[in-house]
């Protein structure tokens, strides 16, 4: 299809994209690796700072706090993804039923929290969850569900569970939108035909809807994972990584290293970011392989 | 549109959804209703939403305290401008990547996918340095560029959408003798739904972003977004709960307006109603 005369035009219209993509996506990775090999404070030129080889990696990999932040980030990501993906799929499924009344109203209900920035939601919940006079504790006490106020951010696991629940609440609308878009790929007449043939709701879900939304589903799941891995605002606002260092996550570690030290540690911070980025890529490659293999198997068995 | 009737199952679903909706929206409605309560009532209200005495005085305070109006203006500007940049850059790129094979097209496709999974943590420091090097640190443009970022995700969306457009349309355009730009102009109106989708996603994501604006406004608080600025508000005036609630409510006005405006096209897009 490509004609020679078009080539110049193609590259011409690609320029804005290429500039942004190279400058803000590709180049930062190259630069992160360079930073991570220097004792760099982010102030002067990188060339003036001493090259320390792999020292920063040694520092990061032997830092128990990095290990903790690393494990916390994955635990949070897996936990949050397991809640938000199925739940948003279910909501999207309900919202796209042709017999649902007032669909526009309910759609808006589920989208609204998504329009509030996570940081602001975190502040609102900071008040709502307050053990002294927060609305949620007052409600729980009034309903006699608890004798004394609950400190939802008391310890690592509870604080994380709290963050997972409220961040899921905030982001749900976005995933509902994605799933609704995926569900548009299911032709209504296929479902009607199946219904005529006597397939029940569950059978239609299992044999028609799920296989058809799966390709989009893989993308939605990947995005869901990557956005959870980037968790920062909730932690910074609600717990500042605490109590103690119980809710440290990677982005918070990177931020603290680079911007909250007496002397900014861009080198160590970059090493941490790179180690994390690489493992994320490896996990994605493995998951991709597994998904691919599973699909091949399915084809072999003709399922 | 088929006519809908009340059936037992639709009544049941609506009742369930209404109950869920109320609980679901409580944290959203809390700042809205709290913003109309007096400071005194705020402390005795408990979990009650409805104000006993309505008052508008919190809004005056919220608007003038702690530079809030400035932050709100900043957020509107950043989000609008970065959405415009994102849509233009990624629509053009998505279109060419979807419909043309040219030297480098495969590499670009692979790179976009590979870098989609790069966490923010990995790129934020080099972007900081880059903005500093080109002399835009502590300027509006620096924050805007950092917020806009690499537009890889929206390019994928556009590429996917343009790939799905039937080849016949392109053939017809070619038979009519349309060149590269005319074909694009002919096809572009079909992309309205995906433009709405990318615009909403782009606007909300830059509106919500916290990590990037936090770091890029450390040196100049004047440039803060609402998401970062409100934090300063609560740290300085931690006792003024109703003022905070008013600020939160005000901060929601622009984004809800944008959403309601685009929603029509957005839902249209979701419904696959591409044909005008």
Residue A158 has pLDDT above 60, yes or no: yes
**Per-residue model confidence as pLDDT tens digits over B139-163:** 999 999 999 988 888 898 888 888 8
Does some domain include residue A227? yes
Interchain CB contact of A236 with B (< 8 Å)? yes
Q: How many domains does chain A have?
A: 1
Does some domain include residue A134? yes
Tell me the average pLDDT of chain B. Answer: 84
Task: Provide DSSP, B222-276.
Answer: GG--HHHHHHHHHHH-TT-HHHHHHHHHHHHHHHHHHHHHHHHHHHHHHTT----
How crowded is the C-beta side of B179, counted as CA atoms within 13 Å? 8
Cα dihedral A108, A114, A115, A120, rounded to 10, equals 140
**Per-residue model confidence as pLDDT tens digits over A95-126:** 888 888 888 888 888 888 888 888 888 888 88
How much is the pLDDT for B201?
Answer: 84
Interchain CB contact of A118 with B (< 8 Å)? yes
- Joined tokens for residue B90: 């990624």
The reply to whether residue A254 touches residue B9, judged by beta carbons under 8 angstroms, is no
How much is the pLDDT for B80?
Answer: 95
CATH 1.10.3720.10 for domain B70-270, yes or no, is yes
Does some domain include residue A200? yes
How much is the pLDDT for B267?
Answer: 58
Tell me the average pLDDT of chain A. Answer: 85
Does some domain include residue A203? yes
Does some domain include residue A254? yes
Q: Are B221 and B232 in contact (CB under 8 A)?
A: yes
pLDDT (average), residues A258-281: 88
Backbone angles phi, psi at A52, to 5 degrees: -115, 15
How much is the pLDDT for A96?
Answer: 85
Within its chain, how far is the Cα of B116 from the centroid? 18
The reply to whether residue A174 touches residue B28, judged by beta carbons under 8 angstroms, is no
How crowded is the C-beta side of A109, counted as CA atoms within 13 Å? 19
pLDDT above 90 covers a percentage of chain B that reads 21
Q: Which of B29, B68, B122, B231 should be substituted to probe chain A, the one whose Cβ sees the most A Cβ atoms within 10 Å?
A: B122
CA A255-A257-A262 angle, 5° bins: 115
Q: Tell me which residue of B88, B105, B87 sits closest to B96, measured CA to CA.
A: B105
The reply to whether residue A99 touches residue B10, judged by beta carbons under 8 angstroms, is yes
How much is the pLDDT for A4?
Answer: 59
Does some domain include residue A235? yes
> At CB < 8 A and 24+ separation, what contacts does A149-157 make?
A153/A129, A153/A238, A153/A239, A153/A243, A154/A243, A155/A243, A155/A246, A156/A72, A156/A243, A156/A246, A156/A247
How much is the pLDDT for A271?
Answer: 94
Domain that holds residue A170: 68-268
* Pick from A41-45, A102-106, B93-97, B253-257: least confident: A41-45
How much is the pLDDT for B272?
Answer: 41
Residue A245's CATH number: 1.10.3720.10
pLDDT (average), residues A114-139: 85
Domain locations in chain B as residue ranges: 70-270
Per CB-CB distance under 8 Å, the chain B contacts of A237 are 231
What is the C-alpha separation between A149 and A139, in angstroms, rounded?
10
**Per-residue model confidence as pLDDT tens digits over A23-60:** 999 999 999 999 999 998 877 778 788 888 899 999 99
* Pick from A81-90, B28-37, B117-126, B221-230: least confident: B117-126
- Joined tokens for residue B100: 């043309």
> At CB < 8 A and 24+ separation, what contacts does B163-168 make?
B163/B98, B163/B99, B165/B190
Closest-CA distance, B258 to chain A, in angstroms, reads 10
- Joined tokens for residue B154: 């929206």
pLDDT above 90 covers a percentage of chain A that reads 28
How much is the pLDDT for B79?
Answer: 95
**B180 against A249, higher pLDDT:** A249
Does some domain include residue A109? yes
**B194 against A5, higher pLDDT:** B194
Does some domain include residue A18? no
pLDDT range class, residue B275, cuts 50, 70, 90: very low
**Per-residue model confidence as pLDDT tens digits over B169-181:** 888 888 888 888 8
How much is the pLDDT for A205?
Answer: 86
């Amino acid at each position: 299809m490509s004609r020679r005369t078009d080539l110049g035009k193609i590259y011409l219209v690609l320029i804005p994209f290429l500039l942004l993509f190279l400058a803000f996506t590709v180049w930062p990775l190259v630069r992160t690796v360079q930073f991570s090999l220097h004792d760099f404070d982010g102030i002067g030129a990188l060339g003036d700072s001493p090259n320390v080889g792999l020292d920063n990696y040694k520092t990061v990999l032997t830092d128990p706090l990095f290990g903790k932040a690393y494990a916390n980030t994955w635990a949070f990501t897996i936990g949050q993804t397991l809640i938000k993906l199925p739940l948003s799929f279910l909501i999207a499924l309900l919202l796209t039923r042709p017999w649902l009344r007032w669909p526009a109203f309910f759609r808006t209900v589920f989208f609204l929290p998504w329009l509030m920035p996570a940081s602001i939601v975190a502040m609102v919940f900071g008040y709502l969850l307050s053990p002294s006079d927060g609305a949620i504790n007052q409600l729980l006490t009034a309903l006699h569900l608890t004798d004394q106020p609950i400190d939802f951010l008391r310890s690592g696991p509870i604080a994380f569970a709290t963050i997972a629940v409220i961040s899921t609440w905030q982001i749900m609308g976005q995933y509902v939108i994605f799933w609704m878009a995926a569900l548009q790929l299911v032709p209504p007449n296929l479902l009607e035909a199946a219904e005529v043939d006597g397939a029940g709701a569950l059978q239609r879900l299992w044999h028609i809807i799920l296989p058809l939304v799966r390709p989009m589903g893989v993308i939605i799941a990947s995005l869901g994972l990557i956005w959870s891995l980037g968790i920062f605002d909730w932690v910074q606002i609600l717990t500042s990584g605490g109590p103690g260092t119980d809710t440290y996550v990677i982005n918070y570690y990177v931020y603290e290293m680079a911007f909250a030290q007496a002397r900014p540690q861009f080198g160590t911070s970059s090493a941490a970011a790179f180690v994390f980025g690489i493992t994320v890529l490896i996990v994605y490659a493995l998951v991709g392989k597994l998904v691919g293999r599973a699909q091949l198997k399915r084809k072999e068995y003709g399922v | 549109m088929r006519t809908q009737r009340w059936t037992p199952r639709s009544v049941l679903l609506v009742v369930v959804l209404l109950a869920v909706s109320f609980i679901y929206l409580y944290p959203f409605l809390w700042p809205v209703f709290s913003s109309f309560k007096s400071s005194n009532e705020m402390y005795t209200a408990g979990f009650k939403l409805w104000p006993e005495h309505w008052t508008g005085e919190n809004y005056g305070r919220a608007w003038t305290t702690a530079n809030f109006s400035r932050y709100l203006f900043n957020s509107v500007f950043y989000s609008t401008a970065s959405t415009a940049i994102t849509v233009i850059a990624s629509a053009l790129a998505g279109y060419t990547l979807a419909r043309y094979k040219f030297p480098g097209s495969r590499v670009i496709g692979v790179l976009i996918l590979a870098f989609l999974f790069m966490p923010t943590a990995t790129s934020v420091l080099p972007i900081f340095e880059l903005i500093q090097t080109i002399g835009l640190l502590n300027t509006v443009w620096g924050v805007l560029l950092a917020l806009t970022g690499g537009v890889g995700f929206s390019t994928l969306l556009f590429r996917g959408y343009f790939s799905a457009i039937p080849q016949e349309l392109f053939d017809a355009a070619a038979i009519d003798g349309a060149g590269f730009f005319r074909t694009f102009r002919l096809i572009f109106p079909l992309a309205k739904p995906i433009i709405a989708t990318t615009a909403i996603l782009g606007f909300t994501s830059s509106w919500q972003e916290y990590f990037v604006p936090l770091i890029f406004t450390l040196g100049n608080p004047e440039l803060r977004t609402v998401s970062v600025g409100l934090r300063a508000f609560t740290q300085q005036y931690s006792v003024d709960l109703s003022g905070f609630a008013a600020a939160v409510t005000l901060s929601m006005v622009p984004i809800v307006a944008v959403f309601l405006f685009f929603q029509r096209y957005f839902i249209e897009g979701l419904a696959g109603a591409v044909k005008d």
